[in-house]
Chain A
Amino acid sequence: MKALLSALALTTALTVPALAIAKPVILTTNMNRYGGDGVYLALYVTDGQGTYMGSLWMAGGKSKYYEHLSDWHRATAGNLAEINGITGASVGAGRQLKITLDLADALFDAGYELHIDAAVEDMRDSPSEVVVPLTTTGAGQPVGGRRYIRDFTYDM
């Protein structure tokens, strides 16, 4: 029992400091006036090789459309547990999506990238429309999108 407790104390001591370092990050996505229904957006993180690490937000409440967020869907097989608690509504054309998340500090300056897949009903799918490296120097600098996203910024 004592051995178990000390092992627990040791592992807790090792993990907690790493987890405790976090910063509120504001993700701002401005949409173009593309003239269509609300856009579905999947915001997720990959490592430098493009391997999916996890999701940050899903804008769009109907799972039947998630396959159109094709890069996200390929990585997750559409598993709803990936976005449980981080699912909001789709974003209208010309509107803004602004989310504040407490993200692990270790995500920044470590080669990770934030991806945004976008899809609009009856319009072309736009996987990885935004791919931006997560760095402290990149914070506050707007990045343009290709089709539905006017620009995306992360601020810390």
Chain B
Amino acid sequence: MKKYLIAATLLLGLGAAGAALADDDDCRVPMANWQPREAVQKMAEARGWTVRRIKTDDGCYEIKGRDATGREIEVKVDPATLAVVEFEYDDDDDDDDDDRDRNRNAAPTGTMKPPANGLFMPGSKPVIE
């Protein structure tokens, strides 16, 4: 019983350490399960994205390019499932807090359909000032 408890504690400790070290943005997929780059390209094109570059970063595929409306995007993708792990619009540079007057609200104004969640008028397009 004691041995079992020690083993369990040890395992728990290891698990916690693993969780503490893991970064949310990382992918952990054995190389054998990686899909080829072409699959990533196809997945991006199916979503209407224009791909400029596909590289690997933190164990994920990373796509740089533009979305269907032409906005700059950077997307991390799980190499096995091709599920989106992290999505960034590159026009949202919130890392600096200076007061330069540039268009912070660069948004897909009147170009994209909202999700069909029942709240929006079907076919309507959000407008942002």
Contact = CB atoms under 8 A, between A and B. Distances in A.
Contacts, number: 125
B73 to A, nearest CB: 9
Contact of A90 (B84, B90, B104): B104
Contacts of B117: 53-55, 82
Q: How large is the interface on B (under 10, 10 to 19, 20 to 34, 35 or more residues)?
A: 35 or more
Interface in B70-129: 84, 86-92, 94-97, 99, 104-108, 112-115, 117-122, 124, 126-129
A36 B97 CA distance: 6
Interface of B is mostly: loop
Interface residues of A, number: 44
A100 B24 CA distance: 34
Interface string A77-92: 0001111111111111
Contacts of B114: 85-86, 101
Interface of A: 19-20, 22, 36-38, 40, 45, 53-57, 59-64, 80-93, 95, 97-104, 107, 121
